[in-house]
Amino acid sequence: MDIFLLLGANLGDRQETFRRAIELLSERVGTVTLQSSLWETAAWGLTDQPNFLNQVLLLSTALQPLEVLAQTQAIEIEMGRVRKEKWGARLLDIDLLYYGSEILDLPQLKVPHPYIPERRFTLAPLAEIAPDFMHPSLSLTQQELLNQCVDNSVVNRI
């Protein structure tokens, strides 16, 4: 199954964190087939914190969605993630954006990720590597979602 993951970090050596996270994802989740550029943006939600670095990955996995979630959360913890507050500063965040074209509404996992249409920092790297990928419930491509996004955050490709 093709899945899209979003990496985010605003503490520590963000690029090294992503490099290590991609190694671990390759070992435990699946083959990384595409990587977006690195994108820097101001914090979203809770804005009084350092800028974030974000990157979208396309992986091919044999894992089921909850297995992907368990692995990504384990990698976050292994790399020092401590969950203190929603949208707070973090060493690493890994979000499952899409699991193929499946729609899941489970207590611990919603796919597609519910905030995709609202977040320029997610849509810019998604549109970079998969502009024509269709959102399964909105029937819009990533490029169309980016074009319609009302989030006016400045998102810069590095």
Contact, 131 vs 145, CB < 8 A? no
95 is catalytic: yes
- List 2, 19, 20, 81, catalytic entry: 81
- List 14, 95, 119, 120, catalytic entry: 95
Q: Are strands 52-61 and 2-9 parallel, antiparallel or unpaired?
A: antiparallel
Helices 14-28 and 65-78: crossing angle in degrees, nearest 10, is: 140
105 is catalytic: no
Q: Are strands 2-9 and 155-157 parallel, antiparallel or unpaired?
A: unpaired
In order, the DSSP letters of 109-137 are EEES-TTGGG-HHHHHHHHHH-TTPBPTT
- List 13, 28, 90, 132, catalytic entry: 90
Quick one: tokens of 24?
């671990």
Largest Cα–Cα separation, the chain: 39
Q: Tell the burial category of 143 from Cβ atoms under 10 Å away from its Cβ (0-12, 13-18, 19+).
A: middle
Closest CA to 39 of 132, 93, 120: 120
- List 93, 105, 119, 132, catalytic entry: 93
119 is catalytic: no
Residues annotated as part of the active site: 81, 90, 93, 95
